[in-house]
Amino acid sequence: MFNNVFTAVPHAKAGKLRALAVTTASGSRALPEAPTVAASGYPGFESNSWQGIVTRAGTPGAVVARLKAETIKVLQSPKVKNPIASQGNDIAAGAPEAFATYARREMKKWGKVIQAAGVKNDD
């Protein structure tokens, strides 16, 4: 099964399941013994779970800058950062433009997968 580190790592560490591989490009600090899927014979395979904060188009730059600064401050606080890191996750807070580029790249990648698989919306 494919799972995320939040729920899989405690079970792997307790010996209740064996992690065969991780889907990230560079491995996982939480499961250093697990190879990547790419290193296991599927070059180029990468799948990450990610979240982001967005706002409507046209939001004033000063508001975006403040939102970015406050978000980074919260994400770097030990109360937030430590539990996330202890579960093997990374925080990648940065420039809004970098996040927009990443999100577009992910949408394009997964859009191709959806088309190739013939996935249809039931609505």
Written as tens digits, the pLDDT of the chain (123 aa) is 888 877 888 898 899 999 999 998 888 888 889 999 999 999 999 998 888 999 999 999 999 999 999 999 999 999 999 888 877 778 888 888 899 999 999 999 999 999 999 999 887
Q: Could you give the C-alpha distances from 24 to 66, 67, 120, in angstroms and in order?
A: 31, 28, 27
pLDDT for position 68: 93
Phi-psi region of 85 (alpha: psi -120 to 50; beta: other; left: phi over 0): alpha
Three-state DSSP at 81 gives helix
Number of C-beta neighbours around residue 37 at 10 A = 20
Contact 18, 12 (CB under 8 A): yes
